[in-house]
């Protein structure tokens, strides 16, 4: 698995809050980050953040990014949590706001491209609309029956599943099959080397 980049995670959360007018719902932001990672992986052969994804009842979750938002002291050192607090402030438990301008230099051009594209298509949705939409994607829907039957609270997701088609209802994820297979092979080769 690739290394998680906490600076990119904080700045991605920060950008999303700024783009939503200064504050954003946590669940909405986490779903947008998942979609941006999914898009970037399918287009460029690597995720933006290198996070670990889990399927939960409300959809895919970048778990370390969620831990940053929750200021999880078990997962992160005080220095990393202080970095997060320098840019983000929790509001009422379910939202957070930007408290300092984002630092975009932590991102590549393609990172910004993916984040921007996802925000333009999905950024104005309500958190529950995006949650419901996330249930249409194969990396989550493969666990749906288990959630309905209360068999588990979360399941580890595999980046390989992000290469599966989500159908024609999602224009950002309609890719040429041949190119997508090549990008997936590149990702699998590089991931194996790590």
| Per-residue model confidence as pLDDT tens digits over 138-193 | 999 999 898 888 888 899 999 999 999 888 788 899 888 899 999 999 898 876 65
Residue 111 has pLDDT above 90, yes or no: yes
Residue 17: CB atoms within 10 Å = 23
What digits encode the pLDDT tens for the residues 112-130?
999 999 999 999 999 999 9
Q: Which of 3-12, 48-57, 155-164, 171-180 has the least mean pLDDT? A: 171-180
Is the C-alpha dihedral spanning 150, 152, 157, 158 positive or negative? negative
Q: Per the structure block, which two tokens stand in for 91?
A: 């509001």
Write 109-116 long-range contacts (CB < 8 A, 24+): 110/40, 110/43, 110/44, 111/8, 111/36, 111/40, 111/48, 114/36, 114/37, 114/39, 114/40, 114/43, 114/44, 114/48, 115/12, 115/15, 115/16, 115/32, 115/36, 115/48
169 contacts: CB under 8 Å, gap ≥ 6:
136
């Amino acid at each position: 698995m690739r290394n998680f980049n906490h600076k990119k995670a904080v700045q991605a959360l920060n950008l999303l809050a700024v783009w939503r007018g200064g504050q954003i719902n946590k669940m909405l932001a986490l779903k947008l980050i998942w979609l941006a990672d999914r898009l970037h992986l399918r287009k460029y052969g690597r995720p933006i953040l290198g996070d670990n994804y889990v399927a939960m009842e409300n959809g895919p979750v970048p778990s370390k990014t969620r831990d940053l938002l929750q200021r999880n002291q078990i997962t992160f050192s005080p220095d990393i949590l202080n970095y997060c607090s320098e840019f983000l402030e929790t509001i009422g438990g379910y939202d957070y706001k930007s408290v300092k301008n984002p630092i975009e230099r932590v991102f590549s051009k393609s990172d910004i491209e993916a984040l921007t594209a996802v925000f333009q298509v999905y950024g104005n949705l309500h958190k529950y609309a995006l949650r419901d939409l996330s249930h249409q994607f194969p990396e989550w829907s493969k666990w749906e029956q288990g959630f309905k039957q209360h068999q588990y609270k979360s399941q580890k997701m595999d980046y390989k599943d992000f290469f599966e088609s989500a159908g024609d209802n999602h224009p950002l994820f309609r890719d040429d099959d041949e190119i997508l297979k090549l990008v997936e092979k590149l990702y699998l080769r590089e991931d194996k080397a790590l």
